[in-house]
Amino acid sequence: QSRSLEEIFDQRIARDEKIEPRDWMPEKYRKTHIRQISQHAHSEIVGMLPEGNWISRAPSMRRKVALLAKVQDEAGHGLYLYSACETLGISRDELYEQLHTGKAKYSSIFNYPTITWADIGAIGWLVDGAAIINQVPLCSTSYGPYARAMVRVCKEESFHQRQGYEIMMTLAKGTPEQKELAQDALNRWWWPSLMMLGPTDAESVHTEQSMKWKLKRKTNDELRQQFIDQTVPQADLIGLAIPDPELKWNEETGHYDFGEIDWDEFWQVVKGHGPCNKERLSARVNAWEEGEWVRDAAMAYAEKQDTKKLK
Ligand code: ACO
């Protein structure tokens, strides 16, 4: 019985049909989607912190408005993704609990500090640039609610990427000190941005199965190569140097060759030992605890409205 259900499911995947919340799905499909979608949601939420750090210090009103809008978008992405995840049978409270107890992962990239304004440019350009490359293929992922969420998320990410690149462009053609700030931010964010796309295919435990289920449409290495190929000419255009002496265009492959990634650093950060892991997690836990009275008040108000309606 259950094998035939699985066969029908596999055929639907092969036909590129979307799987919807009430459809039968293998338990592992459900679990791995909860894993990936919730990690994605947590990344959006934690991802607000490094940039939120600069909202009050943005150098002009225009920059402040754009950054504020971007950070708000990220909150929206997180909430969307939590909702998509809930359709798989896990509650929002459980998801928060997993984040706050350190059980859940979120993207390594958000454990690095934003020490200058140029970091805001580098995040938009590189981190959101890598996020777009990762998320555009997810618009055709097999799970309906995730795929639909990705369509809007990608549109907003593309605005984020442009606002970041424009900051870098402005700094790069500014005073020598401004250009230096931009170069320094690129130096610090380049390698973590490559790591963000996940371990090499050889090391990636989930890729093979996730590709079969069309959860992932491209492998980590494919995405990384695409990101590098797209970003190097953008750095050239604004006169910044990618901090990789081994980076070289390869005529034969039609791609850039690049140097060795420090995977020890990546795993250290993933395991909680990055420069800001503790700070990020405690910021989220504090926000949750300090927001308790707001949630309670909102619930009390909603209940009052309900009893009024009943009368
Ligand atoms: N940071 C933290 N953990 C990571 C990262 C990363 N950058 N990349 C991989 N990992 C973890 C995986 O979660 C997995 O751990 P788990 O088994 O405990 O879940 C382990 O490393 C092995 O990695 P993979 O087998 O390659 O995992 P997966 O197939 O899930 O691929 C990827 C990782 C590419 C990040 C995938 O989950 C994905 O595409 N997610 C959706 C996009 C996303 O989450 N983006 C977040 C940042 S973008 C943004 O918020 C702006």
170-221: per-residue pLDDT in tens? 999 999 999 999 999 999 999 999 999 999 999 999 999 999 999 999 999 9
Decide: helix, strand or coil at residue 256: strand
Could you report the per-residue pLDDT of 113-153, keeping only the tens digit for each? 999 999 999 999 999 999 999 999 999 999 999 999 999 99
Nearest CA to ligand 1 atom 43: 40
Counting from 1 in the atom list of ligand 1, the atom nearest the Cα of 210 is: 29
Counting from 1 in the atom list of ligand 1, the atom nearest the Cα of 40 is: 44
Pocket test for ligand 1, best of 31, 39, 46, 128 (most atoms within 8 A of CB): 39
Decide: helix, strand or coil at residue 250: strand
Which amino acid makes up residue 22? R
Q: What percent of the chain has pLDDT over 90?
A: 97
Tell me what the mean pLDDT of segment 7-16 comes to.
Answer: 96
Residue 1: pLDDT over 70: no
Nearest CA to ligand 1 atom 23: 204
Query: What pLDDT does residue 2 have?
Result: 57
Nearest CA to ligand 1 atom 5: 198
Residue 309: pLDDT over 90: no
Question: Quick check: CB of 51 below 6 Å from ligand 1?
Answer: no
Could you report the per-residue pLDDT of 67-118, keeping only the tens digit for each? 999 999 999 999 999 999 999 999 999 999 999 999 999 999 999 999 999 9
In whole angstroms, give the CA distance from residue 245 to residue 252: 20
* Beta carbons within 10 angstroms of residue 33's beta carbon: 25
The pLDDT mean for the chain works out to 97
In whole angstroms, give the CA distance from residue 186 to residue 197: 17
Which amino acid makes up residue 124? G
Nearest CA to ligand 1 atom 36: 36
CA–CA distance from 240 to each of 59, 62, 176 (Å)? 21, 24, 12
Contacts of 281 (CB under 8 A, 6+ apart): 99, 100, 102
Tokens 């593309």 label which residue?
Answer: 158
State the distance from the centre of ligand 1 to the C-alpha of 170, rounded, in angstroms.
Answer: 32
Query: What pLDDT does residue 280 have?
Result: 98
In whole angstroms, give the CA distance from residue 247 to residue 219: 21
H-run or E-run covering 255 = strand 255-257
Nearest CA to ligand 1 atom 28: 206
Structure token digits, residue 5: 């259900």
Query: What pLDDT does residue 152 have?
Result: 92
